[in-house]
């Protein structure tokens, strides 16, 4: 009997060491489909804009805009619902930093991806995620890599960003930014894109947007 218990213990230890499922254990859930994750975001959220911490100078003519896309410029709210702007500015829990804000030197100002979404209870609320939590920076490639706490927009000295959607392709999107090679450069000459599906997520229960398992903020309803 004692020897049988030892053999069973050795067998179970070998299963754990080899990464094999334990007897009777449920198989792990398959990873979510990236296209379905992005489509769920676009189905439940609207008025998606990118809001920088301070007012930016106007980009050169023709710099922004996408053919066949529904896009919104980060430094303006012309096409966004005014109530979204007011909610963002007035909420004490989610207020964009300004150039006069007192912040720790090591903490870059957030770059909010803001939207209005409906949760599972059909309640419409404003939610936002700091894109610096979602994107990294690679100067050798035309795309932002997906990286948690990568601070890609800050590291790339980016200023002009859009969130672009295509009505005929609800699972597609593009975040497009114009960035500088150096912080003291005079012109934004580097164009960066992010189009990887499944990274930016929407939680139907809480109604919050997130990335890499990190949930963004939800503003309280008035």
Averaged pLDDT, groups of 10, the chain, 222 residues long: 51 51 62 90 92 51 43 39 51 41 60 91 91 93 94 88 86 90 74 94 94 89 58
> Are 158 and 177 spatial neighbours (Cβ–Cβ below 8 Å)?
yes
The residues that bridge with 49 in the sheet, in sequence order, are 114
pLDDT recorded at residue 222: 54
Long-range contacts of 192-196 (CB under 8 A, 24+ apart): 192/142, 192/143, 192/144, 192/152, 192/156, 192/158, 193/142, 193/143, 193/144, 194/135, 194/143, 194/144, 194/146, 195/143, 196/34, 196/143, 196/146
Stated pTM of the model: 0.69
pLDDT recorded at residue 98: 35
pLDDT recorded at residue 169: 82
Is 33-98+108-218 a domain of CATH 3.40.50.300? Answer: no
Sequence ranges of the domains in the chain:
33-98+108-218
């Amino acid at each position: 009997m004692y020897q049988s218990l030892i053999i069973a213990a050795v067998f179970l230890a070998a299963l754990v060491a080899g990464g094999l499922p334990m007897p009777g254990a449920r198989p792990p859930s398959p990873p979510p489909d990236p296209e379905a994750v992005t489509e769920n975001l676009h189905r439940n959220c609207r008025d998606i804009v990118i809001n920088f911490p301070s007012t930016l100078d106007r980009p050169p003519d023709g710099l922004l805009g996408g053919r066949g896309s529904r896009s919104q410029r980060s430094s303006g709210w012309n096409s966004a619902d005014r109530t979204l702007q007011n909610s963002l500015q007035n909420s004490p829990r989610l207020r964009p930093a300004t150039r006069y804000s007192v912040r720790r030197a090591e903490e870059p100002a957030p770059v909010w991806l803001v939207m209005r979404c409906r949760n599972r209870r059909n309640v419409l609320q404003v939610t936002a995620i700091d894109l610096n939590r979602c994107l990294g920076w690679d100067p050798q490639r035309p795309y932002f890599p997906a990286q948690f706490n990568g601070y890609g927009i800050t590291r790339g000295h980016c200023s002009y960003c859009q969130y672009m959607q295509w009505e005929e392709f609800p699972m597609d999107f593009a975040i497009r930014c114009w960035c500088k090679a150096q912080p003291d450069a005079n012109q934004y000459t580097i164009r960066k894109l992010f189009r990887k599906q499944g990274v930016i997520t929407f939680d139907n229960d809480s109604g919050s947007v997130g990335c890499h398992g990190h949930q963004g903020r939800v503003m309280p309803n008035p």
